[in-house]
Structure 1
Amino acid sequence: MSDILIGRQQILDSKLNLYAYEILFRGHDFDLKDQEGAAQATNQVITDTLLEIGLNDIVGTSKAFINFTTQNLLEKTPLHLPKDRIVIEVLEDVVVNQDLIDTLKEFSRLGYTIALDDFVLTPDWVPLLTFADIVKLDVMAMPLADTLTLIEQLKPYQVKLLAEKVESQAEYLALKKAGCELFQGFFFSKPNIVAGKRLDINQAAAIKLLGLINDPEVDFNQLSTTISQDIGLSFKLLHYINSAFFALPNKIKSIKHAVTYLGLNEVKRWINILTLTSLANKTNALFRHILTRSRMCELLAQQYHEDPAHLFLIGMMSCLDSLMDMPIAELLAQLPLTEDVERAILHHEGIAGEILAYVISYERWELSSQRLSRIHPENIGAIYIQSINWTDDVLADINC
């Protein structure tokens, strides 16, 4: 692949289930502020996505929202893409004239889904509302009251409203009540902390198990006994070891045999994943986000000669507050984690903290704040795709 960085951001429905992804991209050989450069960038992303990486590897079976410039649209670039897999996202800075309107109408007649990005209600854009399918509202671009007014003005049109850059549960609930059906932003991965909240019995047991398996002194006998006492964990472990990841030379005779075969680090990672999924009633979208972050941390650790299992744990524990809706420091205090793990998560200290900060920046597409200079663009792009594919495989196994 070229030096274009590929990213994605989840788009969720009103129940916070995955609806689609927006494809994000940036490169070093073009300027996205330049119209010709941006058109070239979009064409390159299409080539990279479809030919070199594969659309399924980036978005799975979901649709992909792709930004198109005026030049892309007038050149009818979207016609090279499958209409059932993409959403044509019309950027807010396109020049709306009759040629553009006629082109978009043609896309609509052919069955393509059309979204209007960062929409502002002006006379020039009103004609597009007669055939657009989705209108995206940037909730950070105006006060919430103004956004709610705009929602009311758009109700006569047959469009789905997508609120993007939603950063809090309060915003999500207000926008959902007002009529928005789709949502984009990091509100779903932020804790909705309630003062005085306490862990219930099941959650406390899960936290205890996390503490046990991440204790530096834990041994195979302790792990085997813990897993054997839970029929659900036992079944999941045997199912996991029977997957395509492993080529079993012999039949498994016991849980201890399975734990010994997999190895301590692999079993720790597996139990971390299963235990966290039991901690709270959260959406699949959040777990996908957590696993991708953890895997990216793990793979980047190899580039910096750090312990991959250590970085996987840090990536996963950094999301604990989103799962539990409790302050992260309070939750970490209940686990026998080493001091460097807490420093990496709470303050992004040390090389592990830098790796975590780098991954979080990539998730948020805040590429200017990345600090790992030894990682080349093509490497981080490959690591990101590997992490996505690994997450898909793990979730398929967990949801069996």
Structure 2
Amino acid sequence: MAELRTGMIFDPIQQVSLVPQVKEFFLARQPILDRNQNLVGYELLFRRVGTRPGNAVEDLRGAASIIAHTSELGMKSVMGNAAGFFNVDYATLMSDIVSFLPCEKVVFEIPQTIKITAELIRRISDMVGAGYKFALDDVIIFSDYIRPLLPLIEFVKVDTSVMTRADLSTLTSQFKEANKLLVAEKVETIEQFRNCAELGFDYFQGYYFAKPVILSGKKLTSSQAAILQLMALVVRDAENAVIEHRIKKEASLFLSLLRLVNTPAMGVAKNINSISEALLVLGRRQLRQWLQIQLYMGPDTDPASASPLLLLATTRGKFLELVARKLKPANKSIADTAFTVGTMSLLDTLFSQPMTTILEQIILGKEVREALLHRTGFYGDLLKLSEYVEKPGEASQLLPPLLLELNLPSESLYALQLEAFEWSNSLLPSYREA
């Protein structure tokens, strides 16, 4: 790796004074997808609870917070196998803190307004030589000012929310001629995704993939219908023999369950060769979670790719479970129910059906139904909390009253989020093997 020349040294010993305390922050992890809807990366954003829209912590201290804590925890815990996109400013780029992250896993985003100096060009050139990648961020115009950076830039991120289709078309043509990969930012609907795809964008950042598109007359696959039936049996606390009989009718589920309980992560000393043994090993709680996750996998899921909807659903489920466990530690069933609410909150998107139609096929308690349909009650508040931290922006202002209502300290958010990210990322390989 090429030696990096730096203008400022980052001393880990001074991290406490340089980096703001994380207790007042939460971490927004915004997904970046390719044209085939596969997850390729996340942009990580630190946000202070209660700040106004756009008041991001983007100075040296904020950027240092993200990089320092991500490197300390390990990229895989936060990002899984996806790449990490990090906002950096001039001072951060010139410091040694950027070398804390592995070059093969990160993309540094440079604001279009950065002061371009000969020193900056040398610094970025050295980092590119060492294997780091760079993106030009929040671009809305192709200007001569950025030309000195272009040979060193691989990605160009465009804020599509403030541009007309004609302007976007002109901009994409200009950067495509310069052989740059284009990332459409703030893509919130399927229509926006399709529009940007037609214009030639390569990647798409936003939560458009989580928005339900209702298709009248769409039928569930046989596998999905079978999983819902099994979930209904588990909710009714049916005997294992009844559940076993239903699983055996679905060959794919039969094999998946046996493979799951025989993975090293289950810690079983002997091979499990029957469904009856598998059900005993799993127990009802893990069986219910396995079924909920299986809904998002489907028979055509590519084991080599990450489904953004699956990752979002499992992260939501775990986050809600952790929050519920912290707020009501004496009642384990509340945490289990919270996990169900989180994972099932995206079924309308998965099935392209109204949530009311889906809930007709499985018996759930009134509190769960009210949470999924109307975001009301205790579980509804937990679900809103997850949705707020997923998309900061204006929603970050809604966090303080909700945290107050839940009696959840704001300093708890960051740690609970990280635990949910790590659980979701580490869990998926086992379920893919299953």
- TM-score between the two structures when normalised by the length of structure 2: 0.82
1:353–1:38 Cα change, 3 Å: same
Contact 2:58 2:87 in 1 (8 A): no
Task: Give the secondary-structure state (helix, strand or coil) at the position aligned to 1:90.
Answer: strand
| Aligned counterparts of 2:213 and 2:241: Cα–Cα separation in 1 | 38
1:154 paired to 2:181: no
- TM-score between the two structures when normalised by the length of structure 1: 0.89
The one-letter code sitting in structure 1 at the alignment partner of 2:326 is: Q
1:248 to partner: Cα distance: 3.5
1:13 to partner: Cα distance: 1.3
For 2:246, which of 226, 229, 239 is the aligned residue? 226
1:85–1:276 Cα change, 3 Å: closer
| Aligned counterparts of 2:347 and 2:54: Cα–Cα separation in 1 | 38
What does residue 72 of structure 1 align with? 92
What are the equivalent positions in structure 2 for 1:197-276 lying under 5 Å apart?
A: 197-200=217-220, 202=222, 205-206=225-226, 208-210=228-230, 212-248=232-268, 252=272, 254-276=274-296
Contact 1:32 1:38 in 2 (8 A): no
1:293 paired to 2:320: no
What does residue 123 of structure 1 align with? 144
Deviates further, 148-157 or 372-381:
372-381
1:297–1:127 Cα change, 3 Å: same
1:369 paired to 2:390: no
1:395 paired to 2:428: yes
| Aligned counterparts of 2:308 and 2:353: Cα–Cα separation in 1 | 19
Question: Where does the alignment leave 5 or more consecutive residues of structure 2 unmatched?
Answer: 1-20
After superposition, the C-alpha distances for 1:128-150 in whole angstroms (9 at most, x for unaligned) are 22331100011112233322232
What does residue 375 of structure 2 align with? 348
Contact 2:316 2:343 in 1 (8 A): yes
1:231–1:80 Cα change, 3 Å: closer
Deviates further, 272-281 or 230-239:
272-281
1:380 paired to 2:403: no
What does residue 54 of structure 1 align with? 74
Task: Give the secondary-structure state (helix, strand or coil) at the position aligned to 2:235.
Answer: coil
Output the aligned Cα RMSD: 3.0
1:144–1:338 Cα change, 3 Å: farther
After superposition, the C-alpha distances for 1:311-362 in whole angstroms (9 at most, x for unaligned) are 1111111100111112222222332222221210121111110001101111
| Aligned counterparts of 1:253 and 1:110: Cα–Cα separation in 2 | 50
1:100 to partner: Cα distance: 3.3
1:36–1:327 Cα change, 3 Å: closer
Question: Where does the alignment leave 5 or more consecutive residues of structure 1 unmatched?
Answer: none
For 1:108, which of 128, 139, 145 is the aligned residue? 128
Contact 1:22 1:64 in 2 (8 A): yes
1:248–1:83 Cα change, 3 Å: closer
For 1:21, which of 34, 42, 52 is the aligned residue? 42
1:335 paired to 2:362: yes
1:304–1:221 Cα change, 3 Å: farther
After superposition, the C-alpha distances for 1:367-395 in whole angstroms (9 at most, x for unaligned) are 32221233334532222222222223332
What does residue 8 of structure 2 align with? none
Contact 2:136 2:153 in 1 (8 A): yes
1:334–1:129 Cα change, 3 Å: same
What does residue 192 of structure 2 align with? 171
Larger RCO, structures 1/2 (Cα 8 Å, 6+ apart): 2
The one-letter code sitting in structure 2 at the alignment partner of 1:265 is: R
Identical amino acids, percent of aligned pairs: 26
| Aligned counterparts of 2:91 and 2:344: Cα–Cα separation in 1 | 45
| Aligned counterparts of 1:84 and 1:103: Cα–Cα separation in 2 | 18
What are the equivalent positions in structure 2 for 1:35-54 lying under 5 Å apart?
A: 38-51=59-72, 53-54=73-74
| Aligned counterparts of 1:251 and 1:109: Cα–Cα separation in 2 | 49
1:257–1:189 Cα change, 3 Å: same
Task: Give the secondary-structure state (helix, strand or coil) at the position aligned to 2:145.
Answer: coil
| Aligned counterparts of 1:13 and 1:150: Cα–Cα separation in 2 | 19
Deviates further, 332-341 or 158-167:
332-341
Deviates further, 39-48 or 78-87:
78-87
| Aligned counterparts of 1:141 and 1:206: Cα–Cα separation in 2 | 45
